[in-house]
């Protein structure tokens, strides 16, 4: 699987939010733990809906969690 150009702060945010587990974030957002693993590794770009669900679980804006780096 190739890397996606979208980067994220999910791992960092999980630890900043009480050391939230991947499983807890998966349950909070309605996806599997494997999806969270793939997102954190940069192997998967979330749908817009999932990006919003993840951001809301941290009480942040989508752009605070996901970034499109400058080339």
Q: Using 50, 70 and 90 to split pLDDT, how confident is the model at 66? A: very high
Q: Which residue is listed with tokens 């998967």?
A: 44
CA dist list (Å): 32 to 13, 23, 24: 18, 7, 10
List, for residues 42-54, the tens digit of each pLDDT value: 999 999 999 999 9
pTM (2 decimals)? 0.90
List, for residues 6-65, the tens digit of each pLDDT value: 999 999 999 999 999 999 999 999 999 999 999 999 999 999 999 999 999 999 999 999
Question: Which one of 3.40.50.1110, 2.40.10.220, 1.10.260.40, 3.40.50.2300 gives the CATH number of domain 7-62?
Answer: 1.10.260.40
Q: Delimit the domains of the chain by residue range.
A: 7-62
Say what the pLDDT of residue 9 is: 98
């Amino acid at each position: 699987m190739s890397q996606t150009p979208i980067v994220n702060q999910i791992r960092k945010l999980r630890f900043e939010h009480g050391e939230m587990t991947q499983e807890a974030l998966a349950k909070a957002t309605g996806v599997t733990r494997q999806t969270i693993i793939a997102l954190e590794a940069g192997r998967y770009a979330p749908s817009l809906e999932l990006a919003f669900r993840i951001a809301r679980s941290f009480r942040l804006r989508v752009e605070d969690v996901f970034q499109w780096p400058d080339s």
